[in-house]
Amino acid sequence: MSNPVEIVLVYQSLLGIYGDRGNAMVLLKRLQWRGIDATLTVVEPGDTVPATGSVYLLGGGEDAAQVSAVRALKADGNLFRALDDGAALFAVCAGYQICGNTFTIGEHDEVIEGLGVLDVDTRRGSVRAVGEILSRWTRSDGAEVLLTGFENHGGFTTLGPSATPLARVEIGVGNANDGTEGAVQGRVIGTYPHGPVLARNPALADHVLSVALERDLEAIERPEIDELHRQRVAAVRRQGLRR
């Protein structure tokens, strides 16, 4: 019998102020619907991060929380070991920023060295990005999927040559008002939207699981979830027309 798929929610009290814990619950449920045994491990500051996880999740937080999380994760080291062993990492907003090479904090824009698992850098933007965002994500099979969420970030993120955008923005700001949103590098995926974003976008949730498990997953027939996604896309487009 194979071991359960372990989903690791990292530093919920530091990086969990926007309800991003919901991303872990979505992944857990979508595995259970498929009859795949799964567990959720919640790691708080001071706890050892397990190196045995299949998927690691980082959420949103404030400046001080970002710095504390980076220091703790570097001192612990197990997140890096897990990624080297083939785990996936899904990071949202502040979690996305700290995965990069550098990010800035405070009114004096102090530059902080990040985890370095995404080739991105974040600096204070010209405007604060607040509001609904709609982007277009192209799956590995070539199909285009619309992604929705709520962005709330003051940092603008630029991608280096080793990272590629997750999606292209239709409505909203995204990375740096340059038409891109999020970043992908190997098994690391970063994105700005909350929502939680995986609850809003089941196709993206299944993609994260597929990356972690290194195989395609069978489709789940949940028409009510598909309808909610369609309604959310329509609502974001209506709001975009009023901007």
Task: Provide the annotated active-site residues.
Answer: 93, 194
Write out the two tokens for 90. 């899904």
DSSP assignment of the chain equals -PPPEEEEEE-TTTS-TTSTHHHHHHHHHHHHHTT--EEEEEE-TTSPPPS--SEEEE----HHHHHHHHHHHHHH-HHHHHHHTT-EEEEETHHHHHTSSEEEETTTTEEEE---SSSEEEEEEEEEEEEEEEEEEE-TTS-EEEEEEEEEEEEEEEE-TT-B-SEEEEES-TTTSSSEE-EEETTEEEE--BS-HHHH-HHHHHHHHHHHHTS-------HHHHHHHHHHHHHHHHHHHH-
Ramachandran region of residue 152, left (φ > 0), alpha (ψ -120 to 50) or beta?
Answer: beta
